[in-house]
Amino acid sequence: MSAEPAPAPPQLPTATGYALLGLLSFGRELSGYELKQWADGSLRFFWSAPAMSQVYRELERLAESGFVEQRSVVRDGTRSTKVYRLAPAGDAAVRAWLAEIPEPPVLKHPIALRVFFGHLLDPADLRRAVEAHRNWCEQVLHDLNTVRDDLGDDPAWRNAALVAEWGMEYYHGDLEAVARVEQAAIDEAAPGASPA
Amino acid sequence: MSAEPAPAPPQLPTATGYALLGLLSFGRELSGYELKQWADGSLRFFWSAPAMSQVYRELERLAESGFVEQRSVVRDGTRSTKVYRLAPAGDAAVRAWLAEIPEPPVLKHPIALRVFFGHLLDPADLRRAVEAHRNWCEQVLHDLNTVRDDLGDDPAWRNAALVAEWGMEYYHGDLEAVARVEQAAIDEAAPGASPA
DNA sequence: TGTAGCATGTAAGCCGTTACATGATTGA
DNA sequence: TCAATCATGTAACGGCTTACATGCTACA
């Protein structure tokens, strides 16, 4: 008959939780804010980056379940920050998750959608969409390039560098494929109607 | 002072709703079941295919908002089926949506994730993940090939065929990129330890 | 006779988002 | 002193999923 609150059943993390565990597995002790920054600078290129509020919620759950250890530190000045470190249970959990057969990839490609529904857009709108997509890809390529440079040839970041390189090829290929499909789609829409 | 239920405010469709409107824009009158089948055979390759229950819910909302027209038909035998046809408001709505600046693409790539967190997997697990991914891609390529063949060179399906072709290149490229990255990641993990 | 496909939904719940709220610190 | 960034959350909501429930029809 204890009056203590029932211990939370250690439920398994969500995909986002596992991703945070993965980031913590590099050994650093990080705050929610820092984890979000890092996710935005790495995971977002090939997985997804959760909202800030989601990061905090997940960290709380991970701490409740014993997958991470939480403590408050005073870093510089007087303010205290909560920082998180991977616990042994968290290490085991994320390893087990990654060893599972993966889910299929998820792709939502707005240009492919617009080509598919091409009869509902006029060529100018399609071109505007392609241009926005191209700008976005170029920004991503620029960011990835910076990331790649920052990683250098430190063996500790070799895998991250590999993925950054993969990402650059990927988005480069996307750019090329979109250009091809745009040309074909617009040619179809107005055969022979080339601009003066 | 009428006692009638307040008419539902015609709220804008969700992305899934727009996708259904897009499918209906090809002019056919379809049931929820048929729309789901079609989404699974087309949209899923480059966008996403909603769950069956989601299709029904969206169709109901689209009907409430006047974007589609609903009627019950008896198709063969005695059973009646609800079928949906695009209403003028739905046509306008989906056109306007597609003409907007698109959201950025979404990509969740399980192999990239596993390479990034490569220090948490042993090479055998990475290989298993890659193999599962490869099987998945090959299935998709097979399905896309069937789709492409079925579309033939009917000008009415020219855009769909373009996207199917794009998809085949895309997943082919994925396969190649994954093979490259796998080789590099495994080489790194065990340098000099080539199989006998 | 039973299984697979056709066909339509309801219920519950998670995941993640946006919007909101707060306050300290740093540098222009 | 103002804006940007660091830092941490809460509240409300929406989208989509899985699991469940139901029943007909065709075919082997």
Q: What is the pTM of this model?
A: 0.91
CA nearest to A129, candidates B177, B123, B104, B63? B104
Q: Do A158 and B112 touch (CB under 8 A)?
A: no
Q: Is the pLDDT of residue B3 over 60?
A: no
pLDDT at A182: 84
pLDDT one-digit tens code per residue, A39-86: 999 999 999 999 999 999 999 999 999 999 999 988 766 678 899 999
- B/e letters for A55-67, b = 16+ CB within 10 Å, e = fewer, are bbbbbebbbebeb
pLDDT at B80: 81
pLDDT one-digit tens code per residue, A167-192: 999 999 999 999 998 888 777 766 55
Euclidean distance between the first and the last CA atom of chain B, given in angstroms as a whole number: 87
pLDDT at A192: 55
Lowest mean pLDDT segment, chosen from A2-16, A154-168, B84-98: A2-16
- B/e letters for B63-97, b = 16+ CB within 10 Å, e = fewer, are bebebbbeeeeeeeeeeeebbbebbebbbebbbeb
| Element housing B27 (H / E) | none
The distance from CA B52 to its chain's CA centroid, rounded to whole angstroms, is 13
Q: Is the pLDDT of residue B100 over 50?
A: yes
pLDDT at B145: 95
How far in angstroms lies nucleotide D16's C1' from the CA of residue B51? 8
Mean pLDDT over B99-115 rounds to 96
Sequence-distant (≥ 6) Cβ neighbours of residue B41 within 8 angstroms: B143, B147
What's the Cα-to-Cα distance from A61 to each of A22, A88, A89, A142, rounded to whole Å?
15, 16, 13, 35
- A178 in helix, strand or coil? helix
Say yes or no: B99 contacts chain A, CB-CB below 8 A: yes
What's the Cα-to-Cα distance from A102 to each of A96, A105, B108, B142, rounded to whole Å?
11, 8, 11, 20
CB B104 within 8 A of CB A148: no
Chain B residues 22-51 with a CB less than 8 Å from chain A? 22, 25-26, 42-43, 46-48
pLDDT at A2: 45
Mean pLDDT over A126-150 rounds to 95
Residue of higher predicted confidence among A94 and A184: A94
Q: Are strands A106-108 and A80-86 parallel, antiparallel or unpaired?
A: unpaired
pLDDT one-digit tens code per residue, B131-160: 999 999 999 999 999 999 999 999 999 999
pLDDT at B77: 66
- Give the C-alpha separation, A191 to A183, whole Å: 11
Residue of higher predicted confidence among B114 and A184: B114
Say yes or no: B6 contacts chain A, CB-CB below 8 A: no
CB of B80 within 7 Å of some strand D atom: no
User: Which bases of strand C have any atom within 7 Å of the beta carbon of a protein residue?
Assistant: 6-11, 14-20, 24-26
pLDDT at A195: 47
How far in angstroms lies nucleotide C15's C1' from the CA of residue A156? 32
Q: Is the pLDDT of residue A12 over 80?
A: yes
Q: What is the mean pLDDT of chain A?
A: 90
pLDDT one-digit tens code per residue, B34-51: 999 999 999 999 999 999
| Four-residue CA torsion sign, B177, B178, B181, B187 | negative
pLDDT at A42: 96
Q: Which residues fall inside 7 Å of strand C, measured at CB?
A: A 14-16, 48-54, 57-58, 76-79; B 31-34, 37, 52-53, 56-57, 75, 79, 81-83
pLDDT at B52: 96
pLDDT at A6: 47
Q: Is the pLDDT of residue A16 over 90?
A: yes
- Give the C-alpha separation, A54 to A14, whole Å: 11
Nearest CA to the C1' of D8 belongs to which residue? A56
Angular region, A22: left φ>0, alpha ψ -120 to 50, beta rest: alpha
